[in-house]
Structure 1
Amino acid sequence: PGDLAALTAIQGEISRVLLQYHRGALYVAVAGLPLRGMDFFEGRISAAWGRLHERLQQAKLRRFGELEPAEMAQLFAPLDHGGNEEQQCQVCGLEHPDVRAERAGADAEPVRKCPACRAFEDLGDALRRARWLQWREGKATAPTLTLDLTTPPGVWREALAALGWTASLFDEAPNTKPTPARSVLLALDDDALATLKPAAQTAIGRRLLVNTTPILTFDERQALQADRSFPEDERRQLPPSDRVKPFSVLEHQSRGIRRLGVLRMDVDNLGKLFQSGLGEQATLSRVAMLSFAVSLYFEGWVAKLAEEVNRATRRPPEQGGRLYAIYAGGDDLFFVGSWDAVVELAIAVRRDLTRYAAEHPGIHASGGVALVGGKYPLSQAADDAKRAEEQAKALRWRANGVEHRKDAIGFLGAALPWSLFGMEEEAQTPNLRTVHGLMHELTGLVEAGADVIELGVPFTDPLADGPSVQRATERALASGTTLPQILALVADLRRETEIPLLLMTYFNPVYRYGLERTAREAREAGVDGFLITDLPPDEALDWKRIATANSLDTIFMLTPTSTSARIEAVARLASGFVYCVSRTGVTGARPELPPDLPGLIERIRAGTTLPIAVGFGISRPEHVRQVGRWAEAAVVGSALVDVIGRHGREAVAPAQAFLRSLRS
């Protein structure tokens, strides 16, 4: 009991310091549990660990609850001016009398920063170059600190000093001569460790640190200054070379759609793992070693994975890194970067965790990715990614008749098991059952000469589709394919190609998902337009308005039975191109084109200046040649679906050969 009282007092001291200097943004939860001698035998330590975990969760739900009532009252009292913009930090949002406006570059707009944010910025700049970290013990002032939230918050060095420590970073080997105060000197990389020798009052060691920081190189800065697609106001605000890349640059350097990706990820069911994972073999030392092993992965190996992803995704090769580690340690991580690199990192972290855990099926992780603009507040983006992660952790899914929970990723508003998102082993043949594998298939079609890719959204009542597409639809529905998964596929594909991408769908999936949400998420994923087969122009005004606001084309169909009035209505609303249905009936390959097709195209041409694409029945090279004499494009659907259906996982090469034959 006496030890628990002392522990509570220690937590109170820590909480006062963190509240005084960080205003509640940081909190350390502390919990304790008395042990009996028998708890150390027959694996009972696991049950004790479970009880401790419950107490820790309770402490997290009562942040700062250990403070005295008078101190708690300060939390609910009005603070600061409450609206003085000149004293409000534009980085953290807090007010401070010493806010200063600083410029990242000579032509950049000034940004107001408080002392704490300026100090963190200097720390981050020093940390990316640092090779050694030294902790020195001092006299703590926390035991005598009086909480006073009416005084301005200080900086990180003052907070550490209150806890009895000073920290110093070095990019050159520090002096290890004996000092009166005790200290710990930690190397931040293996080579730096080899130079250290212990001295009186100074211990040495190795500190694993995920210090992945993207640096703006001189060549990159020059290229961005000359890049007219990089916004002019962002060019003016570029920092000097050899500084940390702004988020706007990471957004610009993403592939496909230009978005910043924010990733949050952690191990699933970690408390249960500690509580029962070791069974009767559990001891304090083994539980501690398990905790260390989890930390070792996130603090050590994740840094290597980030380096590999940075190296593998550079394009051109001289491009600098595109990943920024905000935090990685314990059992979780938080990264920001070009969205395509962030997705690759998420897959790599989850894949290697299985290998690290010796393929143990109960050890896995879930994550969430938010796609945002470069100027989107990072704190809000972190919340968005957290919600995506929570969505993934709430997922229940089945595989091989077994129900699974978690082990998923939240992306573009949907939660997907990693196995469907694209966590596949390297193989010669992509797994076409995954989003990532399908991306490889579609990339192969682009390489074979496809000019536009049309992705079908499966629907339970595909009235306009023939047997080939209906069979593909049934397979897609049976595997659980959804509109969010298809949007994830588009986003994945956008990392590799700028080819125009259309979604062909019936109206029901769009209506159920929500018109606004469908259009917004489609734009964010990189979709260029929609072909909604059962949405006539006179019923399409709401969708057309929403699609146009999201820079999406709306494609309409015209058939041999279309009247002049229908052609005129389509001409008013359509954008991108007009889809000419070559014959009445459903989709499907045909041996010959209908003889009245040239006349139909001529009627459509008289009513619109948009390009005309001809579909339904196009399946042979001679069909493409004929259509090429009358229209701008030939649409090949069922015949390609047949090729893929016949070859399954081996479909990439045959599909490429088929497309090349059509272009011949």
Structure 2
Amino acid sequence: MIDSSTSKVSRAITARKDAGSGAVIGYLPVGFPTLQTSIDAAVTLATNGIDVLELGLPYSDPVMDGPVIQAATQRALAEGFRVRELFPAVREIVSQTDVPIVVMTYWNPVSQYGAQRFADDLSAAGGAGLITPDLIPDEAAEWIAAADRADLDRVFLAAPSSSDARLRQAVEASRGFVYTVSTMGITGARSDVDAAAATLVARLREVGVENACVGLGISTAQQVREVLAYADGAIIGSAFVRALAEGGLEHLAAVASDMASGSRVS
């Protein structure tokens, strides 16, 4: 099994579990609606109860993202966002909060930048790890080696369609948590979190997962509570992006505080 003793993300999730609940992980794309506002927005999540920050790296072909996140990332690119701007943004966020930061990115930008260079620059900026939704463990040797050298978490995905062998691979290759996809399809808030998520988490437990965090479709504090009844973390994305787009930092703070209330034991 992976040694998670140096993982900031694992420690943050464990702290929430020890408090009797689980972690809330909040996603926002860096560079939306502007680079500085995205930095301020990440800090806003951190200061309103979010336990782990997930920063999305804008990409020209975001095949897994729903319309809310696609629109935000496309605007960031239109505003001129470049990959190199990620690292000073992470550094500035880290200077204002102790909440660990993982970056969500498709593999192509990392490959183009250089896997080891990307890992080293992210680590130097204070980042905690990387989520790679389109990279499977048996094709990830280059990234696993780079992440090990930079002491970064690496988060792979598990889906309801994954075989037991694939789930075991994801568990063995991940450090920090396994991103547990609650539904088949793209991201976006749904009225009900798919019941398949609970079954998938149970299957991951059987193959030794340390932290299974559920994403895709969580949009209310009640859904956070429901997910944390069986999972170690709840991942929220579209709801936060929409809040920022529609009401700015003040509205984002209110939504984050509400979502975080779902993880607090009354």
* TM-score, L = length of structure 1: 0.34
Larger radius of gyration: 1
Other-structure match for 1:473: 73
Q: Does 1:626 align with 2:251?
A: no
Other-structure match for 2:50: 450
Aligned-residue RMSD, C-alpha: 1.5
Other-structure match for 2:130: 530
Other-structure match for 1:617: 217
For residues 113-158 of structure 1, give each alpha carbon's deviation from its aligned partner in whole angstroms, at most 9, with x where no partner exists. Answer: xxxxxxxxxxxxxxxxxxxxxxxxxxxxxxxxxxxxxxxxxxxxxx
SS at match of 1:630: coil
For residues 317-359 of structure 1, give each alpha carbon's deviation from its aligned partner in whole angstroms, at most 9, with x where no partner exists. Answer: xxxxxxxxxxxxxxxxxxxxxxxxxxxxxxxxxxxxxxxxxxx
1:483 to 67, 80, 83: 83
Other-structure match for 2:175: 575
Instruction: Find the aligned partners of 1:578 and 1:452 in 2 and give their Cα distance.
Output: 14
SS at match of 1:565: helix
CA contact (8 A) 2:34 2:76 kept: no
Q: Does 1:652 align with 2:253?
A: no
CA contact (8 A) 1:613 1:632 kept: yes
Q: Does 1:506 align with 2:103?
A: no
CA contact (8 A) 1:432 1:441 kept: no
Letter in 2 for 1:613: C
Instruction: Find the aligned partners of 2:98 and 2:257 in 1 and give their Cα distance.
Output: 20
Instruction: Find the aligned partners of 1:533 and 1:618 in 2 and give their Cα distance.
Output: 18
CA contact (8 A) 1:580 1:612 kept: yes
Letter in 1 for 2:153: D
CA contact (8 A) 1:457 1:482 kept: no
Which structure would you say has the larger RCO, counting Cα contacts within 8 Å and 6 or more residues apart?
Answer: 2
Instruction: Find the aligned partners of 1:441 and 1:644 in 2 and give their Cα distance.
Output: 8
Cα distance, 1:432 vs. partner?
5.6
* TM-score, L = length of structure 2: 0.84
1:600 to 180, 200, 211: 200
Superposition pairs of residues 167-206 of structure 1, within 5 angstroms: none
Cα distance, 1:571 vs. partner?
1.7
Distance 1:434 1:505, change over 3 A: closer
Instruction: Find the aligned partners of 2:195 and 2:116 in 1 and give their Cα distance.
Output: 42
Other-structure match for 2:155: 555
Instruction: Find the aligned partners of 1:659 and 1:434 in 2 and give their Cα distance.
Output: 20
Other-structure match for 2:93: 493
Other-structure match for 1:661: 258
SS at match of 2:239: helix
1:542 to 142, 167, 187: 142
Instruction: Find the aligned partners of 1:519 and 1:573 in 2 and give their Cα distance.
Output: 16
Q: Give every structure 1 segment of 4 or more consecutive aligned residues whose post-TM-superposition deviation is greater than 4 Å.
A: none
Other-structure match for 1:433: 34
CA contact (8 A) 2:49 2:257 kept: yes
CA contact (8 A) 2:33 2:76 kept: no
For residues 17-40 of structure 1, give each alpha carbon's deviation from its aligned partner in whole angstroms, at most 9, with x where no partner exists. Answer: xxxxxxxxxxxxxxxxxxxxxxxx
Letter in 1 for 2:147: A
For residues 85-135 of structure 1, give each alpha carbon's deviation from its aligned partner in whole angstroms, at most 9, with x where no partner exists. Answer: xxxxxxxxxxxxxxxxxxxxxxxxxxxxxxxxxxxxxxxxxxxxxxxxxxx
Instruction: Find the aligned partners of 1:625 and 1:542 in 2 and give their Cα distance.
Output: 37
Cα distance, 1:486 vs. partner?
1.4
Identity rate of aligned residues, in percent? 35
For residues 226-266 of structure 1, give each alpha carbon's deviation from its aligned partner in whole angstroms, at most 9, with x where no partner exists. Answer: xxxxxxxxxxxxxxxxxxxxxxxxxxxxxxxxxxxxxxxxx
SS at match of 1:530: strand
